């Protein structure tokens, strides 16, 4: 039986397409009508075609498996029903993201210089003193334009009243943008007729914008600065993305061993012609592995002397080392205050209310309400190091209670948001599944926000974990102009 | 071009070539044995000698039976020279240069690895093996065609050609060496008809038989076969031809002084007379050729990969 929207039950959540059971949102009607017009067989054919396209386009993420003798590429699970946001709403979000990233960059720069925000009593100094992501090595460094986080991926979620919140900021090496681009390419290939019904904002200019952003950082002012993408190598789960972005930008994809820092503190890559100077390194290697001279002495991924070259301004690193100090989940709680402090503005996109375990009153509240809260470790990502209280066992809660008491600085708690849902294909009908959104914000000589971003969806019924490594999939994200059509 | 990328193209080509050569060698040997008198003590052990892995083989297997040798040369991923190892390494190299080689190229290599791995448990018996190995060779030939017709013929492609030709030349010398050494007692009248058969099979294992017949137009004899395989300028698997190819590639590359000089030295084979050499002399001579190839490999690595 084809998709019947009247059978789609909107529970207590906010649904992105369906206002309430049997009532689609006005601008979603052509989309819903289209999907319900497809017969089962057609639906299956399109789904198979999408899967084939994904496989043949080589869109994969890598998982490492001892059993299978090395790394394996997995196709990225993709859902064919797009996620839609109106342009009117999006422009608000875009402004909010630009505001947030501007403030975050000011915050990072301040933390590595005068630390005014601490001296003025806005941010407790001990949070920085014990931050795992604060890098002594970066103190006093002046990256071009005072920008540290050139590429930021902030995760947005929508609560049941429809409000968008920032759930977290990723300021180190955020990934996923290649899937955003490829998801659109797949949709255009499989559902060209859908694009007739809507005017959908294109996303394809991201590689160009990224290239421009990186080029603007070049220490040598020349027309074609040498830009490289530094990858940890094929065993990294995001290797596909590294190679994809390098290819799209026409940049070299390099590994640590391809680069060498000369006596003149400039960075060079080894080519068959000999050494060639590198201006900008878009590094997808974590801080601690960047330079064995400055960080982990046994890192095989890094380039000895890279930090020296960066500090002397001979090469640009994007993102700058140390930028991660501001995506710590504890610092996150202070971002609205930082926006106010640096920009004199109220945050346009709110934070999720956050309890800091370092504060005794808040910690006691958290410990007493573990069954209602989500607890997160300050520096973990990818859905690891997390307790979802209402769904956890007593044993798991007891473990986190212990962890929090042992190291309160490292934990925060938030109420369990009732993440919004959107119709997702299950067999041949649509069911609500929870989702989030990761837009990407570029900061160089100007600030750019992707049109939409990567929508990740929890494919398991009732689950709110959207990470690809834990059963998540993704959808194409449409920003539609409802006024012009 | 990044040195590492050049190096990986070069090794991808070498491993693909090695996989193809190994498959062909096994198939040809199986055919040869069907034609030889059963009393001859030839069997499968020369194949182990060709790959230079006798010590490892004796460590793992009790005897050089067909089953053991085939398993050793084809299936075992722990063995450095096996076909499976070559495919794994070719794929690992290709994975890191997916943005350089044609996309279908990566897909074929990936499928070749996956399909071979899946087929191995049932494909090595006498009945299915011939077709199985034939299809692997076919896929690699397809890849060579694809690279030639859709890659930019620039620096990267030259490294691909150099890798392939170096590996080819190496295999040719190994086969000439082992076969002229161990196949048959040299002067024995009653076995003369089989000299023809054995050298025919040597030519076949380098897919050289047809070309040989076209060019030499005479019976297959040791002398002319050795000359053809080592010194022919036109036959793609002849040692001298491979050297000429490498020289042509090097000529287009920067900083080529040292490698060009060395290749010049190797090409002196043109004026040698290996066909007139006694068994031992030939063995020493081929040994020197192989050492030269190893030197050339390290000279190329020194010039471009570090």
Domain boundary assignment for chain B:
1-150, 153-306
CA–CA separation, B97 and A191 (whole Å): 32
CA dihedral A444, A446, A447, A453 (to 10 degrees): -80
Contact between A272 and B107 using a beta-carbon 8 Å cutoff: no
B98 contacts on A by Cβ (under 8 Å) = 58, 243
> Which alpha helices (H) appear in chain B, and where do they start and end?
3-35, 45-50, 54-60, 66-70, 83-95, 103-123, 126-150, 155-182, 192-205, 209-216, 222-231, 239-251, 257-266, 279-300
Go through the domains of chain A in sequence order and give each one's CATH number.
Answer: 95-149+201-343 (3.40.50.11290), 355-415 (3.30.1490.270)
User: Residue B191 pLDDT more than 90?
Assistant: no
B114 touches chain A (CB under 8 A): no
A267 contacts on B by Cβ (under 8 Å) = none
B99 touches chain A (CB under 8 A): yes
Distance from CA of A256 to the nearest CA of B (A): 11
Of B3, B92, B99, Cβ closest to residue A243: B99
Contact between A243 and B1 using a beta-carbon 8 Å cutoff: no
Contact between A234 and B304 using a beta-carbon 8 Å cutoff: no
Tell me the C-alpha to C-alpha distance, in Å, between residue B21 and each of A367, B82, B177: 67, 11, 15
**Of A129, A152, A172, A146, nearest in space to A289 by CA:** A172
* CB atoms closer than 10 angstroms to residue B239: 28
Q: What is the pLDDT of residue A215?
A: 96
Pairing relationship of beta strands A440-443 and A447-449 according to DSSP bridges: antiparallel
A69 contacts on B by Cβ (under 8 Å) = 77, 88
Distance from CA of B86 to the nearest CA of A (A): 15
pLDDT tens readout for residues B46-102: 889 888 888 999 999 999 999 999 999 999 888 888 999 999 999 989 988 887 888
**Of A44, A85, A17, nearest in space to A425 by CA:** A44
Tell me which chain B residue has its CA closest to the CA of residue A273.
Answer: B254
Contact between B2 and A252 using a beta-carbon 8 Å cutoff: yes
Distance from CA of A442 to the nearest CA of B (A): 24
Band of residue B183 on the pLDDT scale cut at 50, 70, 90: low
Number of C-alpha atoms within 13 angstroms, CB side, residue B134? Answer: 7
CA–CA separation, A319 and A330 (whole Å): 20
B92 contacts on A by Cβ (under 8 Å) = 70, 234
Q: Which tokens in the block code for residue A446?
A: 């100007």
Share of chain B above pLDDT 70, in %: 95
Question: E strands, A16-111, where?
Answer: 18-20, 23-24, 60-65, 70-75, 78-86
DSSP class of residue A146 equals G
Contact between B2 and A56 using a beta-carbon 8 Å cutoff: no
Q: What is the pLDDT of residue B220?
A: 85
B6 contacts on A by Cβ (under 8 Å) = 272
Of B99, B253, B254, Cβ closest to residue A246: B99
Q: What is the mean pLDDT of residues B269-288?
A: 89
Contact between B3 and A272 using a beta-carbon 8 Å cutoff: yes
Contact A33, A181 (CB under 8 A): no
**Diameter over CA atoms, chain A:** 70
Contact B124, B71 (CB under 8 A): yes
Contact A230, A252 (CB under 8 A): no
Distance from CA of B252 to the nearest CA of A (A): 12
Share of chain B above pLDDT 90, in %: 57
Tell me which chain A residue has its CA closest to the CA of residue B255.
Answer: A273
Distance from CA of A313 to the nearest CA of B (A): 24
Contact B123, B41 (CB under 8 A): no
Average pLDDT, rounded, for chain A: 90
As to burial, measured by CB atoms within 10 angstroms (0-12 exposed, 13-18 middle, 19+ buried), residue A57 is: middle
Write down the residue that tokens 């009153």 correspond to: A361
Tell me the C-alpha to C-alpha distance, in Å, between residue A281 and each of A104, B100, B288: 21, 20, 46
Contact between A258 and B98 using a beta-carbon 8 Å cutoff: no
DSSP class of residue A300 equals S
Tell me which chain A residue has its CA closest to the CA of residue B1.
Answer: A271
Distance from CA of A367 to the nearest CA of B (A): 48
Q: What is the pLDDT of residue A8?
A: 92
Of B103, B106, B254, Cβ closest to residue A272: B254
First to last CA, chain A: 32
**CA geometry: angle B80, B83, B87, nearest 5 deg:** 90
Interface residues from chain A to B (CB-CB < 8 Å): 56, 58, 69-70, 233-234, 243, 246-247, 252-255, 257-258, 269-274
Contact between A234 and B92 using a beta-carbon 8 Å cutoff: yes
ipTM associated with this complex = 0.76
Distance from CA of B96 to the nearest CA of A (A): 6
Higher pLDDT: B36 or A142? It is A142
B53: alpha, beta or left? (left if phi > 0; alpha if psi -120 to 50): alpha
CA–CA separation, B282 and B176 (whole Å): 9
CA–CA separation, B48 and B69 (whole Å): 7
Q: Provide the CA B95 distance to its chain's centre, in angstroms.
A: 23
Contact A252, B2 (CB under 8 A): yes
B252 touches chain A (CB under 8 A): no
Distance from CA of B109 to the nearest CA of A (A): 13
Tell me which chain B residue has its CA closest to the CA of residue A233.
Answer: B96
CA dihedral B205, B211, B213, B216 (to 10 degrees): -120
Contact between A271 and B3 using a beta-carbon 8 Å cutoff: yes
Q: Which range among A250-254, B181-185, B190-194, B275-279 has the greatest average pLDDT?
A: A250-254
Q: What is the pLDDT of residue B275?
A: 87
A252 contacts on B by Cβ (under 8 Å) = 2
Contact between B106 and A254 using a beta-carbon 8 Å cutoff: no
Of A69, A70, A254, Cβ closest to residue B2: A254
Contact B253, B156 (CB under 8 A): no
B103 touches chain A (CB under 8 A): yes
DSSP 3-state of B210: helix
Contact between B98 and A243 using a beta-carbon 8 Å cutoff: yes
**CA geometry: angle A326, A330, A333, nearest 5 deg:** 85
Contact between A272 and B103 using a beta-carbon 8 Å cutoff: no
Chain B interface test: which of A250, A255, A272 (most B C-beta within 10 Å): A272
CA–CA separation, A325 and B280 (whole Å): 71
B200: alpha, beta or left? (left if phi > 0; alpha if psi -120 to 50): alpha
Contact between B2 and A269 using a beta-carbon 8 Å cutoff: yes
Q: What is the mean pLDDT of residues B278-299?
A: 92
Q: Provide the CA B266 distance to its chain's centre, in angstroms.
A: 18
Q: What is the pLDDT of residue B182?
A: 58
Distance from CA of A241 to the nearest CA of B (A): 11
Contact between A234 and B95 using a beta-carbon 8 Å cutoff: yes
Angle between the N-to-C axes of helices B209-216 and B192-205, in degrees from 0 to 180, rounded to the nearest 10: 120
Cβ-based neighbours of B42, under 8 Å, separated by 6 or more: B33, B36, B182, B183, B184
CA–CA separation, A258 and A270 (whole Å): 5
Tell me which chain A residue has its CA closest to the CA of residue B158.
Answer: A272
Per-residue pLDDT of chain A (485 residues; tens, 9 = 90+): 788 898 898 888 899 999 988 889 999 999 999 999 999 999 999 999 888 877 766 666 665 555 545 556 666 789 999 999 999 999 999 999 999 999 999 999 999 999 999 999 999 998 888 788 899 999 999 999 999 999 999 999 999 889 999 999 999 999 999 999 999 999 999 999 999 889 999 999 999 999 999 999 999 988 899 999 999 988 888 888 998 899 889 899 999 999 999 999 999 999 999 999 999 999 999 999 999 999 888 877 899 999 999 999 999 999 999 999 998 888 999 999 999 999 999 999 999 999 999 889 999 999 999 999 999 987 766 566 789 888 899 999 999 999 999 989 889 999 988 899 999 999 888 999 999 999 999 999 999 999 999 999 999 998 888 877 677 899 999 999 987 64
CA–CA separation, A98 and B129 (whole Å): 63
* DSSP states along A392-414: S-HHHHHHHHHHHHH-GGGEEEE
Q: What is the pLDDT of residue B292?
A: 96
Distance from CA of B233 to the nearest CA of A (A): 29
A451: alpha, beta or left? (left if phi > 0; alpha if psi -120 to 50): beta
A274 contacts on B by Cβ (under 8 Å) = 254-255
Of A233, A247, A270, Cβ closest to residue B2: A270
Q: Which tokens in the block code for residue A11?
A: 């529970």
Distance from CA of A56 to the nearest CA of B (A): 8
CA–CA separation, B204 and B218 (whole Å): 16
Contact B245, B267 (CB under 8 A): no
The number of C-beta contacts closer than 8 angstroms across A and B is 47
Q: What is the pLDDT of residue A58?
A: 63
First to last CA, chain B: 13
Q: Rounded to the nearest 5°, which phi and psi values hold at A61?
A: -125, 160
Q: What is the pLDDT of residue A62?
A: 62
Q: Which tokens in the block code for residue B255?
A: 């900083």
CA–CA separation, A408 and A329 (whole Å): 12
Contact between B77 and A69 using a beta-carbon 8 Å cutoff: yes
Contact between A258 and B99 using a beta-carbon 8 Å cutoff: no
Cβ-based neighbours of B212, under 8 Å, separated by 6 or more: B203, B220, B225, B228, B235
Distance from CA of B99 to the nearest CA of A (A): 6
B304 contacts on A by Cβ (under 8 Å) = 272
CA–CA separation, B32 and B42 (whole Å): 10
């Amino acid at each position: 039986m084809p998709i019947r929207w009247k059978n789609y039950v909107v529970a207590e959540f906010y649904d992105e397409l369906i206002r309430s059971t049997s009532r689609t949102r006005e601008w979603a009607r052509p989309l819903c009508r289209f999907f319900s017009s497809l017969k089962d067989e057609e639906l299956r054919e399109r789904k198979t075609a999408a899967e084939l396209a994904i496989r043949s386009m080589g869109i994969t993420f890598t998982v490492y498996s001892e059993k299978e003798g090395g790394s394996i590429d997995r196709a990225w699970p993709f859902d064919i029903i797009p996620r839609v946001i109106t342009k009117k709403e999006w422009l608000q979000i875009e402004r909010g993201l630009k505001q947030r990233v501007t403030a975050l960059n000011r915050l990072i720069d301040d933390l590595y210089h005068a630390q005014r925000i601490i001296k003025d009593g806005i941010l407790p100094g001990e949070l920085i003193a014990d931050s795992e992501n604060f890098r002594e090595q970066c103190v006093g460094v002046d990256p071009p334009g005072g920008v540290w986080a050139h590429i930021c991926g902030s995760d947005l979620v929508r609560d049941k009243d429809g409000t968008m919140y920032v759930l977290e900021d990723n300021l180190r090496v955020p990934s996923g943008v290649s899937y955003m681009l490829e998801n659109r390419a797949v949709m255009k290939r499989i559902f060209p007729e859908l694009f007739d019904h809507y005017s959908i904002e294109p996303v394809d200019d991201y590689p160009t914008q990224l290239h421009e952003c990186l080029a603007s950082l070049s220490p040598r002012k020349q027309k074609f600065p040498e830009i490289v993408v530094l990858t940890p190598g094929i065993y990294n789960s995001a290797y596909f993305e590294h190679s994809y972005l390098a290819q799209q930008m026409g940049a070299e994809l390099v590994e640590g061993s391809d680069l060498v820092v000369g006596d003149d503190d400039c960075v060079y890559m080894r080519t068959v012609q000999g050494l060639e100077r590198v201006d900008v390194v878009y590094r997808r290697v974590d801080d601690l592995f960047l330079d064995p001279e400055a960080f982990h002495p046994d890192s095989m991924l890094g380039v000895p002397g890279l930090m020296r070259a960066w500090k002397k301004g001979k090469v640009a690193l994007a993102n700058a080392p140390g930028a991660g100090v501001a995506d710590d989940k504890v610092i996150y709680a202070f971002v609205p205050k930082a926006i106010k402090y640096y920009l004199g503005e109220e945050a346009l996109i709110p934070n999720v209310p956050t309890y800091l375990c370092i504060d005794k009153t808040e910690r006691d509240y958290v410990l007493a309400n573990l069954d209602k809260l989500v607890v997160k470790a300050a520096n973990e990502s990818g859905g690891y190091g997390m307790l979802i209280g209402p769904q956890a066992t007593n044993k798991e809660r007891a473990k986190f209670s212990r962890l929090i008491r042992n190291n309160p600085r490292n934990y925060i708690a938030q109420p369990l948001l009732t993440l919004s849902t959107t119709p997702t294909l299950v067999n041949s009908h649509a069911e609500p599944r929870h989702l989030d959104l990761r837009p990407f914000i570029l900061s160089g000589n100007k600030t750019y926000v992707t049109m939409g971003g990567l929508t990740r969806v929890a494919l398991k019924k009732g689950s709110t974990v959207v990470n690809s490594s834990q059963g998540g999939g993704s959808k194409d994200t449409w920003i539609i102009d409802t006024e012009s059509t | 071009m990044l040195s590492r990328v050049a190096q990986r193209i070069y090794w991808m080509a070498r491993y693909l070539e090695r996989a193809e050569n190994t498959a062909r060698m096994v198939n040809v040997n199986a055919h040869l044995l069907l034609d030889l008198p059963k009393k001859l003590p030839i069997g499968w052990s020369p194949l182990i000698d060709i790959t230079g892995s006798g010590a490892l083989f004796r460590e793992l297997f009790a005897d050089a039976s067909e089953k053991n040798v085939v398993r050793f040369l084809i299936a075992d991923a722990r063995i450095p020279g096996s076909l499976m190892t070559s495919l794994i390494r070719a794929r690992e190299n290709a994975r890191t240069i997916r943005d350089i080689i044609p996309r279908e190229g990566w897909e074929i290599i990936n499928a070749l690895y996956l399909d071979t791995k899946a087929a191995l448990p049932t494909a090595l018996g006498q009945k299915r093996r011939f077709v199985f190995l034939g299809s692997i060779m076919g896929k690699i030939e397809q890849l060579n065609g694809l690279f030639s017709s859709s890659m930019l013929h620039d620096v990267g492609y030259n490294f691909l050609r150099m890798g392939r030709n170096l590996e080819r030349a190496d295999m040719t010398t190994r086969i000439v060496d082992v076969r002229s050494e161990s196949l048959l007692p040299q002067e024995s009248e009653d076995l003369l008809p089989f000299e023809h058969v054995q050298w025919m099979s040597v030519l076949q294992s380098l897919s050289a038989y047809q070309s040989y017949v076209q060019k030499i137009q005479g019976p297959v004899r040791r002398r002319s076969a050795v000359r053809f395989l080592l010194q022919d300028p036109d036959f793609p698997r002849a040692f001298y031809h491979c050297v000429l190819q490498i020289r042509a590639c090097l000529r287009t590359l920067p900083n080529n002084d040292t490698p060009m000089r060395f290749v010049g030295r190797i090409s002196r084979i043109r004026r040698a007379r290996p066909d007139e050499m006694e068994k031992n002399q030939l063995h020493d001579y081929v040994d020197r050729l192989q050492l030269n190839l190893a030197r050339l490999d390290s000279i190329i690595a020194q010039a471009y990969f570090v």
